[in-house]
């Protein structure tokens, strides 16, 4: 954690800018809350920012995530983090039929809720993603904001772990 605390303001924000997809504001807020005593305090602060900070628009965060195996993936336009996460879920090797079903469900979800279906891809594979998507389509919007943000927190924690492990003294 010493290395994280010793990063300059700009280095910190650059490194952590995408722990929440396309939301560098989270890194900016975290940077102002340094120093962190340990990784648990960092995670606790991250969760607090995502849950309570008035400068963080939760629905906007949910809209900024890409569809799983969607057009950005097909066009090679995912962020490095999203690409790695979708690869780990096996979404780069799905059939056209599976991609079509996922696209239909993603579109239904976005039409109903106004934001992207979020699930921590690194903790799932295609079948669990499809089942989760079908089940979550039955929820109301308030529940989906809460569930989606829980998934964002999981993703952000894993991305943070990757960044911290990549830092050298």
Query: Over 31-66, what HEC string results?
Result: HHCCCCCCHHHHHHHHHHHHHHCCCCCHHHHHHHCC
Question: Which residues fall within 8 angstroms of residue 41, CB to CB, at 6 or more apart?
Answer: none
Asked whether 118 and 124 are in contact (CB, 8 A), the reply is: no
Q: Where are the alpha helices (DSSP H) in the chain?
A: 2-6, 9-16, 24-32, 39-52, 58-64, 71-74, 80-88, 96-113, 126-136, 141-166
By annotation, the residues acting in catalysis are 65
Neighbours of 66 (CB within 10 A): 21
User: CA–CA separation, 157 vs 140, rounded Å?
Assistant: 26
ω into 6 cis (within 30 of 0): no
């Amino acid at each position: 954690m010493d290395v994280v605390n010793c990063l300059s303001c700009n280095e910190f924000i650059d490194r952590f800018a995408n722990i929440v997809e396309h939301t560098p504001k989270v890194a900016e807020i975290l940077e102002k809350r340094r120093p962190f005593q340990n990784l648990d305090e960092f995670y606790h602060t991250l969760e607090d920012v995502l849950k309570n900070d008035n400068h963080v628009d939760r629905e906007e965060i949910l809209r900024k995530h890409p569809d799983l195996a969607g057009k950005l993936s097909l066009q090679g336009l995912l962020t490095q983090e999203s690409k790695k996460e979708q690869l780990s879920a096996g979404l780069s090797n799905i059939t056209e039929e599976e991609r079509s079903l996922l696209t239909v469900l993603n579109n239904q979800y976005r039409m109903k809720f106004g934001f992207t279906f979020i699930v921590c891809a690194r903790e799932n594979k295609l079948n669990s993603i499809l089942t989760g998507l079908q089940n979550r389509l039955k929820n109301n919007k308030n529940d989906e904001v809460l569930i989606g943000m829980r998934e964002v927190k999981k993703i952000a924690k894993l991305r943070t772990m990757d960044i911290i492990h990549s830092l050298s003294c």
